[in-house]
């Protein structure tokens, strides 16, 4: 999976859990929380949807890795690749 | 037919909170079943039919209404967490509501879903209190009301630090208490802040078809997520072993096991299910209950001159006494609801007029009456409650104009509430002690709903969501 594909996975999840947010101009390097109204309940849902849809586990100590789209891609892409057997 | 005997989570009660918890858990793959003793969902916010006519119970108005685009409020959180599109609720806003105090409602404060209206009414009626009122609003806005472990504080004391006129103080407390306080005379400040935001800073709305729209949406989500429910299937007992709920015994005699049990039926009611000789009930029974009169009219209330007010909170006495009456009913104060007076859009009106009045009542004075006395007392109080409430609405063209327009009436009492919801003492807002973290005497048994302490129907749903998240989903 490319990092851009990984970002799209996260954006798709946010689009479903926060349909009232405008996602057309999300800046990948800026914290998600600073660009839209996402609270801890919403971040819990991002984590849970990653598990439900993709089988990706994000332990609580790593939640901060999901702060921006860039950091999501850094953190999650290897996890996706590990699932599909790529290294 | 749902006949499994083992679930990840068993939920007791299919009210707003139980359904919301169920949706969350089922959505994330838990095997969930809701057990409901009644044949209808909704619990304290439900509806019933008599002669083909549907009556709402509970819901006068959905509080916490904000318009699309306003974020970070309870309604928005609820819609996101349950994956509900706000159009599904199709909420219609109130026209205006009032707080009317004095023997004829001489002092009246209007409010709408635009807070500036209420602020200007307060400033006009109480000019000397303007600064204090604004400081109070700031204190409410900045209060962290979602904390699950805030220290309790008296709302009366907190309000008096800013508002020195007892009339204004009582007028602020009256709607907030009537729409959610289980405690007499005072509220916990966190509860006050939640209710102040829900009623004044946010607002009132209602689906055209009433509470059943909300329930229909919740049921559809729950079903689509794979949740199961068993109706007319109450829980008789929760068995405990080594500090955990080991099994639940149904009225039918069947036994169910579950890793987690969430009870929405109230704290003392839950205690009773667990009770063994060794465990004393840990929660005081509730004290406050209500009566409500419902009149169905053959015309729109506007034709009687009652076309402006959606909700009116009234009190005729020098102070507002939010206490259990010694009589069967205390008609001095109460709440009028005219569901026709929401803005349903051009030319869209409810098919019949509805006029509802709610007053405080004493459960024990109703509970044990023989049937004939019960019916006689109901008729007597019906007239008394309506007579009291009418003082706070525009005068009718003639004294018997309301009776002439009335097609049918109904009335519920504390006895009705206890019978259909199973809540001890006919309680609407639960026990006086709240359990914000939802913990009970057993490790895997949690509370949600009124006794967890989030208020109103939006609060009830958020309670179910929060408890499902906190105790089960966050733990993986």
Give the global pTM.
Answer: 0.93
| Residue B128 burial (C-beta neighbours within 10 Å; 0-12, 13-18, 19+) | exposed
Question: What does the alpha-carbon distance between residue B80 and residue B225 come to, in Å, rounded to a whole number?
Answer: 15
| B339-362 pLDDT tens trace | 999 999 998 999 999 999 999 999
Residue B240 is encoded by which pair of tokens?
A: 């405990």
User: What is the ipTM, given to two decimal places?
Assistant: 0.90
Domains in chain A and their CATH numbers? 3-84 (1.10.1200.10)
Nearest to B202 by CA among B70, B69, B341, B58: B70
Q: Is A48 close to B83, i.e. CB distance below 8 A?
A: no
Sequence-ordered list of residues with C-beta below 8 angstroms from that of B114, at least 6 positions apart, any chain: B203
Across the strands, what pairs with B427? none
Parts of chain B with a pLDDT under 50: 277
Mutate one of B28, B67, B80 to test the A interface: name it (highest A CB count within 10 A). Answer: B80
Chain A residues inside the 8 Å CB shell of B80: 17-20, 41-42, 45
pLDDT at res. B431: 82
CB B310 within 8 A of CB B61: yes
Q: Check residue B147 and give its pLDDT.
A: 64
Contact A41 B80 (CB under 8 A): yes
Residue B453 Rama label (left phi>0; alpha psi -120 to 50; beta): left
CA distance to partner chain B, nearest, from residue A56 (Å): 12
Nearest to B474 by CA among B441, B420, B438: B438
User: Given an 8 Å threshold on Cβ–Cβ distance, is A17 in contact with B71?
Assistant: no
pLDDT digits (tens, 9 = 90+) for B101-153: 999 899 999 999 999 999 999 999 999 999 999 999 999 999 876 666 667 89
Predicted local confidence at residue B279, as pLDDT:
54
Cβ burial, residue B252 (10 Å; 0-12/13-18/19+) = exposed
Q: What pLDDT does B432 receive?
A: 82
State the pLDDT at residue B177. Answer: 96
Give the pair of three-digit tokens for residue B69.
Answer: 């685009």
- pLDDT of A86 reads 65
pLDDT at B428: 83
Instruction: Report chain A residues whose CB lies below 8 A from the CB of B85.
Output: 19
Residue B217's H or E segment, with its range, is: helix B211-224
């Amino acid at each position: 999976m490319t990092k851009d594909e990984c970002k799209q996975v996260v954006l798709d999840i946010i689009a479903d859990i926060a349909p009232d947010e405008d996602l057309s101009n999300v800046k990948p390097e800026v914290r998600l929380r600073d660009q839209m109204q996402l609270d801890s309940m919403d971040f819990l849902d991002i984590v849970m949807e990653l598990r439900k849809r993709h089988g990706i586990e994000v332990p609580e100590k790593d939640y901060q890795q999901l702060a921006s789209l860039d950091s999501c891609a850094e953190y999650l892409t290897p996890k996706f690749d590990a699932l599909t057997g790529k290294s | 037919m749902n006949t499994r005997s083992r679930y990840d989570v068993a939920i007791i009660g299919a009210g707003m909170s139980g359904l919301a918890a169920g949706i969350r858990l089922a959505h994330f793959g838990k095997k969930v079943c809701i057990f409901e003793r009644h044949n209808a969902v909704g619990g304290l916010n439900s509806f019933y039919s008599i002669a083909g006519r549907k009556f709402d119970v509970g819901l006068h108005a959905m509080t916490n209404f904000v318009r699309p685009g306003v974020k970070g409020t309870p309604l928005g959180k609820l819609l996101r967490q349950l994956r509900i599109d706000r159009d599904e609720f199709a909420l219609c806003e109130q026209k205006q509501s009032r707080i009317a105090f004095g023997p004829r409602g001489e002092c009246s404060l209007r409010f709408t879903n635009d807070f500036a209206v209420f602020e200007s009414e307060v400033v006009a009626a109480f000019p000397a209190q303007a600064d204090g009122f604004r400081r109070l609003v700031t204190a409410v806005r900045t209060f962290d009301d979602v904390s699950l472990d805030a220290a309790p504080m008296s709302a009366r004391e907190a309000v008096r630090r800013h508002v020195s006129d007892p009339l204004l103080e009582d007028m602020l407390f009256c709607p907030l208490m009537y729409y959610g306080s289980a405690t007499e005379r005072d509220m916990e400040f966190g509860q006050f802040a939640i209710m102040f935001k829900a009623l004044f800073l946010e607002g009132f709305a209602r689906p055209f078809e009433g509470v059943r729209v909300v329930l229909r949406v919740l049921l559809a989500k729950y079903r689509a997520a794979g949740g199961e429910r068993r109706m007319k299937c109450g829980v008789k007992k929760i068995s405990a072993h080594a500090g955990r709920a080991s099994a639940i015994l149904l009225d039918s005699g069947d036994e169910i096991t579950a890793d987690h049990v969430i009870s929405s039926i109230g704290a003392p009611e839950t205690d009773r299910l667990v009770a063994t000789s060794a465990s004393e009930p840990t929660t005081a029974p509730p004290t406050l209950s209500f009566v409500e009169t419902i009149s169905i009219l053959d015309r729109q209330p506007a034709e009687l001159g009652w076309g402006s007010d959606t909700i009116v909170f009234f009190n005729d006495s020098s102070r507002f006494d939010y206490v259990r009456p010694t009589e069967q009913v205390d008609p001095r104060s109460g709440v009028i609801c005219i569901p026709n007076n929401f803005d349903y859009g051009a030319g869209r009106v409810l098919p019949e007029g509805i006029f509802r009045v709610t007053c405080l009542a004493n459960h024990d004075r109703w509970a044990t009456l023989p049937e004939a006395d019960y019916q006689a007392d109901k008729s007597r109080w019906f007239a008394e409650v309506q007579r009291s409430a009418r003082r706070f609405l525009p005068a009718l063209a003639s004294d018997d104009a309301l009776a002439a327009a009335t097609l049918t009436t109904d009335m519920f009492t504390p006895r009705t509430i206890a019978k259909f919801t199973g809540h001890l003492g006919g309680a609407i807002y639960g026990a006086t002690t709240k359990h914000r973290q939802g913990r009970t005497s057993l490790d895997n048994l949690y509370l949600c709903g009124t006794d967890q302490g989030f208020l109103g129907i939006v609060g009830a749903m958020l309670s179910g969501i929060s408890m499902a998240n906190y105790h089960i989903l966050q733990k993986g």
